[in-house]
Amino acid sequence: MSLHIVVCAGIVPDPLQTLEPIAGPNGPALKNEMMLPAVLDPWAASALYEAATLVSKFPGSRLWLVSLGPKAKLQQVMMTIAQKVTFELVAVDSASNGFADASATASALASGIAAIPDLDRTKLLLFGGWESASRGAGVTLQTVGELLGITDQFAGVDQIDMREDGSFEVLERVEGGKHQASVCAGAPAVLGWATGNLPEPHNNPQIGMANMRTVMPALQRAKQAALTNDGQQYLSASLPSQQRQTRVVRDLAPDAIAQELVEWIRTQ
């Protein structure tokens, strides 16, 4: 049995930086965004590490990383990520910020995946972050799956166990710190990963040099994609206000707590 795993992973500003929203000519944007150092989206990074481990267990399997963003930023991030795991890059050149429309992003990603040569959709597992530090909205990965005709979808995945017949068991996060166990008959399927169970791999310069032989040509071949908002408008964008008023109350009913939260939100 072999697998074809495609990981959708965007790039985001380094979370250690101060992100200040501004009003740009095309709507809200981040101040000095192109100057901010970028990293691979933390949620999608977990999906990539899980995918690489899974591919290593099944000879003949292949792993693609599909990423949308400005080529200069993609190159910067790939210099680091390429040293972690072995993958084939599919780059989509486009403007990137946290205000991009999720449906437009999904359409561009789906087009990039559909154009991958030698991709066998009967073996396809589409991985990505359950959420995102940029353009998540909780729907991007699911929309990509729908556009590709994949209806078996799992969200909040922490573990996948493949079986010899091609089926697999998935553990999805549910309330109360528990997992829901589901069994899927086999590929194709979409898995939106939470944090998984694997640590971040150590940098390996040899893997990096091997990856960069294909990463640089992939960046040069990157097709441009224009992300449209389809009439979407933002009334305002601002940093959250910093406020801390701690109050310890015992035996307060859940309804009363919820009512206090609603009233506080209304005042903001």
pLDDT, tens digit (0-9, with 9 covering 90-100), for 145-159: 999 999 999 988 999
Domain ranges of the chain: 4-224
Q: How confident is the model at residue 153, as a pLDDT?
A: 93
Q: How confident is the model at residue 247, as a pLDDT?
A: 77
Q: How confident is the model at residue 17, as a pLDDT?
A: 73
Q: How confident is the model at residue 134, as a pLDDT?
A: 66
Q: How confident is the model at residue 224, as a pLDDT?
A: 77
pTM: 0.79
- Please state which CATH class domain 4-224 belongs to: alpha beta
Low-confidence ranges of the chain (pLDDT < 70): 24-28, 96-99, 133-137, 228-243, 268
Instruction: Count the Cβ atoms, other than its own, within 10 Å of residue 83.
Output: 19
Q: How confident is the model at residue 135, as a pLDDT?
A: 52
